[in-house]
Amino acid sequence: MGDDSTKTEPTLPQSPLSPPAEEIPTQPDTPPITPEPNTTASGSTPSDEPSGQSAVIATGDTVQAFDRESQTESAPSAPAGELASKIPVDEAPPVATENTQGQGSSKTKVAGVVLAFIILIAAVAGGGYWWWSQRNKAVPEEITTRVERPKASLIIAAPQDQMATTSAQIQIEGKTSPDSMVTAYTESSEETYESDDNGDFSGTLTLDEGPNDITITAFGDNNEETSETRSVVYVREEEL
């Protein structure tokens, strides 16, 4: 047996009664459009793409889609510049600046308000504690110490108290601190004396006719003083 692939079907003779077959006009052969090695809209050389997909060819001011499988052109699409602008490009996600700054400033304000409130509470608490401690603090009693200056020693030897004399000059004698000042005075006269190293002093004082109150005062080293008074009556001899 021969190979079935070599068999040809017999051609039937055309009947004279059958109308002639219409001739189908044939279109002139269109040469296949081969893609030129132009750059695509994105600016890169088109790489080999798998069969069954369309390729984009930029010719002149228009971009044509070329179907590799059907070897036909699709309708012109948008200009190359517009298509290039439509091609998605990897873009970084937008960075939120205003919102982030707004949130940061609001957080800062809240933190400042909280801090100020805490400081105010601490100040009020500290002031209250200080006032309470000062109020309850025991006030020490004021102790007044009265320092009495020591009196200068004074011993009157003359004159005697409540005595009478016929002399207008009377003798003043006594004892006090060493090297001290002593004064004797009446209403009309005054005398000053100085004690020696033993504290002895002496002098005279003029009397007025009639009663005389003689005040004798001794002064110590620190200006302390002590006084004695003697009453003496002066009477003239003619009146006796």
Instruction: Break the chain into its structural domains and give their ranges.
Output: 36-87, 154-234
Measuring CA to CA, which residue among 113, 228, 92, 112 is closest to residue 160? Answer: 228
Q: What sections of the chain are H helices per DSSP?
A: 80-86, 98-136
Q: Is 81 helix (H, G, I), strand (E, B) or coil?
A: helix
Q: Is the pLDDT of residue 80 over 60?
A: no
203 CB burial (10 A radius; 0-12, 13-18, 19+): middle
The pLDDT of 91-107, averaged and rounded, is 59
- Which of 58-67, 168-177, 217-226 reaches the highest mean pLDDT? 168-177
Using the predicted structure, report yes or no on whether residue 172 has a pLDDT greater than 90.
yes
Q: What's the sign of the alpha-carbon dihedral 77, 78, 80, 82?
A: negative
Sheet holding 181-185, edge to edge: 163-165, 225-234, 210-219, 181-185, 190-194
* C-alpha span between 152 and 179 (Å, rounded): 12
Residue 33: the pLDDT is 55
The pLDDT, as a whole number, for residue 46 is 46
- The reported pLDDT for the residue numbered 231 is 94
Mean of pLDDT values over 108-117: 85
| pLDDT tops 80 at residue 129 | yes
Q: Is the pLDDT of residue 94 over 90?
A: no
> 153 near 218, Cβ under 8 Å?
yes
Angle at 82 between CA 76 and CA 85, to 5 degrees: 135
Contact call for residues 191 and 172 (beta carbons, < 8 A): yes
pLDDT band at 110; cut points 50, 70, 90:
confident
Q: Residue 59 carries which side chain, given as an amino acid letter?
A: T
Q: Check residue 165 and give its pLDDT.
A: 92
Average pLDDT over residues 206-217: 93
Predicted pLDDT at 184: 94
Distance between CA atoms of residues 232 and 222, nearest Å: 31
pLDDT tens digits, one per residue of 15-72: 444 445 455 555 455 555 555 554 444 444 444 444 444 444 444 444 444 444 444 4
Beta-bridged to residue 143, according to DSSP, are: none
CATH homologous superfamily for the domain 154-234: Immunoglobulins (2.60.40.10)
Q: Considering the entire predicted model, what is its pTM?
A: 0.38
Q: What average pLDDT does the chain have?
A: 70
